[in-house]
């Protein structure tokens, strides 16, 4: 089993599930070289992505086996929508977050996200996201740049 990030890794480990590794914000493409290495030797056809029902289609379009096992249900309060609408910079941890909020964000907002599927899908929308390896790296950067 490989996990999307260290948080998922730790959650799975607490349940007794052995995790081999993760891309942790670097994206699935980052793992391709590792998967092809003699030590790991995993073919793309042997990979099964377990994700939500919306994301499944993006993986299938890229030729990766995927199954959706849950629905994402967005339920933002009016107060949260107002805060997002005022934001000058937004860190998206998933493309579905952007989809949920795109109707009320500023045209001038700076999109920020980890590498991988989220960055690829935001770019496909004509956006130019700034890539950070993790949300922690973004928050560290933001703490050093108080004006943001």
Per-residue pLDDT, 148: 58
The predicted model gives 111-137 an average pLDDT of 91
What's the rounded Cα separation, in Å, for the pair 65 and 50? Answer: 9
Share of the chain above pLDDT 70, in %: 98
Per-residue pLDDT, 28: 84
For 80-121, what is each residue's pLDDT tens digit?
Answer: 999 999 999 999 988 999 999 999 999 999 999 988 889 999
Share of the chain above pLDDT 90, in %: 50
Per-residue pLDDT, 55: 87
- Segment (H or E) for 61: helix 53-61
Please tell me whether residue 112 adopts helix, strand or coil conformation: strand
């Amino acid at each position: 089993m490989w996990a999307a990030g260290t948080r998922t890794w730790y959650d799975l480990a607490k349940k007794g599930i052995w995790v081999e590794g993760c891309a942790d914000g670097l994206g699935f493409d980052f793992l391709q070289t590792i998967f092809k290495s003699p030590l790991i030797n995993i073919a793309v056809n042997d990979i099964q992505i377990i994700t939500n029902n919306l994301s499944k289609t993006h993986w299938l379009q890229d030729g990766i086996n995927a199954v959706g096992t849950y629905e994402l249900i967005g339920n933002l309060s009016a107060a949260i929508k107002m805060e997002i609408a005022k934001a000058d910079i937004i860190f998206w941890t998933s493309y579905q977050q952007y989809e949920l909020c795109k109707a009320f964000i500023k045209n001038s907002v700076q999109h920020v996200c980890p590498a991988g599927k989220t960055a690829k899908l935001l770019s496909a929308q004509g956006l130019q996201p700034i890539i950070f390896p993790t949300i922690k790296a973004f928050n560290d950067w933001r703490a050093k740049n108080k004006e943001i």
